[in-house]
């Protein structure tokens, strides 16, 4: 049982082994301005890349490039330009803020990422090092948009130096109402992009490129839904003859829990490790009659109700250009409670004589169930709708009783 549990976790996590060395189609622009097609990889983290590896074919030996070695590069839907720029490095952690609005500037050669850009210029660019810094283009150079948060009044409150407001007021001055928009603009990518979009609309300038929001590497969600359970129980052992012939009804009961989804940082983040922890239960009954002789027959009633805490893990793939995901995985269920586990039968003979017998349906119930999963789901905004099928060995811990269990889930998830 423990081996199955560990295997189910390792089975999906080992898929991440090649994440950091995955090459994507891209191109570089060398110092002579030549565009070279090939494959690119770099370290995937929250900071801007300090170097990249490039090769012309997947079989070729990769070559290391730093900002000083290139004019720029592009990979997937990201565009980077090499530039010598000012970098503001003052700490923005509350506990480390100083009480001086003077910027802490260093000069560095970096890869600037294009955030938004018009066909005639007037673009916004990003470099993330110790801090997030934004830039505007001016005559083939890049100017730092100045910003700093610092303490005032003897470190009892904080304030902001917003030099970028005045810089952008001049930079975007051909839009008449830009001042009104600037009053609402913060030093955040989303807010600055909104400002530039307003500028393009205001001046009838055409947008050339906009960086799309990056998919979150992971998210957490709440799960509610229903599970439809069918149980098929058989036994050749005489002591459990009451099981044979029983046709259990299907159980339809609610389920709920929490989910966690991690996007692997390659292949446009279409591969996911999805896990959830669900509380589930099922309740089934069966009733059948056995005719022994013309004057004697038996009516048997069976009831079984169990509850579980399940850890499910699926490897999911998002189908290209669609909101649909398909997945396969494993389930691990720990039985929480044995609500009902009984059978009783009535022996009825002629003349009318009734004998009642009660007992446990199964003496040894399994405390753990391992299962296989497959799923299909669709993402609609913050909601995800999923259909899932599960097959497990079942509840019996007795070798002579077969109890394969089939579950179909309909789940609705809300991403927090």
Domains within the chain, CATH numbers bracketed: 77-210 (no CATH), 218-415 (2.40.160.20)
- pLDDT of residue 193 exceeding 60: yes
Cα-based distances in Å from 135 to 115, 184, 340: 10, 19, 67
Q: Are 226 and 410 in contact (CB under 8 A)?
A: yes
Which pLDDT does position 241 carry in this prediction?
59
Residues 6+ apart with CB under 8 A from 309: 277, 278, 279, 333, 334, 336
> Among positive and negative, which fits the CA dihedral 29, 68, 109, 21?
positive
Which pLDDT does position 338 carry in this prediction?
72
Q: How many CB atoms lie within 10 A of CB 217?
A: 14
Which pLDDT does position 288 carry in this prediction?
67
- pLDDT of residue 345 exceeding 80: no
Torsional class of 238: left (φ above 0), alpha (ψ -120 to 50), beta (otherwise): alpha
Give mean pLDDT, residues 251-275. 85
Which pLDDT does position 267 carry in this prediction?
61
Give mean pLDDT, residues 369-389. 91
Q: Are 286 and 247 in contact (CB under 8 A)?
A: yes
Instruction: Return the CA Rg of the chain.
Output: 32
């Amino acid at each position: 049982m423990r081996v199955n549990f560990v295997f189910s976790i390792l089975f999906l996590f080992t898929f991440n082994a090649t994440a950091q060395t995955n090459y994507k189609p891209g191109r570089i622009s060398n110092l002579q301005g030549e565009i070279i097609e090939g494959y690119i990889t770099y370290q995937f983290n929250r900071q801007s890349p300090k170097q990249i590896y490039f090769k012309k074919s997947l079989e070729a030996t990769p070559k290391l490039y730093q900002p000083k070695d290139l004019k720029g590069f592009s990979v997937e839907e990201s565009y980077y330009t090499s530039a010598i720029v000012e970098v503001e490095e003052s700490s923005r952690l509350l506990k480390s803020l100083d009480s001086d609005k003077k910027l802490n500037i260093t000069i560095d050669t970096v890869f600037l990422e294009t955030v938004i850009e018009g066909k005639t210029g007037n673009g916004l660019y990003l470099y993330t090092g110790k801090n997030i810094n934004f830039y505007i283009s001016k005559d083939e150079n890049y100017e730092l948009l100045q910003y700093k948060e610092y303490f005032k009044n003897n470190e009892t409150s904080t304030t902001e130096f917003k030099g970028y407001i005045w810089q952008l007021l001049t930079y975007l001055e051909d839009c008449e109402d830009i001042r009104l928009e600037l009053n609402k603009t913060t030093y955040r990518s989303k807010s600055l992009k909104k400002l530039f979009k307003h500028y393009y609309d205001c001046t009838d300038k055409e947008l050339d490129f906009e960086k799309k929001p990056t998919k979150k590497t992971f998210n957490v969600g709440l799960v509610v839904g229903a599970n439809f359970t069918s149980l098929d129980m058989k036994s050749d052992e005489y002591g459990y003859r009451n099981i044979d012939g029983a046709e259990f009804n299907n159980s339809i009961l609610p389920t709920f829990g929490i989910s966690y989804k991690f996007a692997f940082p390659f292949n446009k983040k279409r591969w996911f490790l999805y896990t959830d922890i669900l509380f589930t239960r099922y309740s089934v009954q069966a009733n059948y009659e056995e005719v022994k002789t013309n004057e004697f027959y038996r009516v048997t009633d069976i009831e079984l109700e169990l509850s579980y805490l399940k850890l499910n893990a699926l490897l999911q793939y998002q189908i290209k250009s669609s909101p649909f995901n398909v997945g396969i995985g494993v389930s691990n269920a720990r039985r929480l409670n044995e609500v009902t586990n009984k059978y009783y039968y009535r022996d009825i003979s002629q003349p009318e004589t009734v004998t009642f017998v009660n007992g446990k349906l199964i003496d040894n119930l399994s405390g753990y169930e391992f299962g296989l999963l497959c799923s299909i789901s669709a993402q609609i905004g913050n909601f995800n709708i999923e259909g899932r099928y599960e097959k497990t060995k079942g509840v019996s811990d007795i070798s002579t009783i077969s109890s394969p269990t089939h579950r179909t889930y309909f789940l609705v998830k809300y991403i927090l």
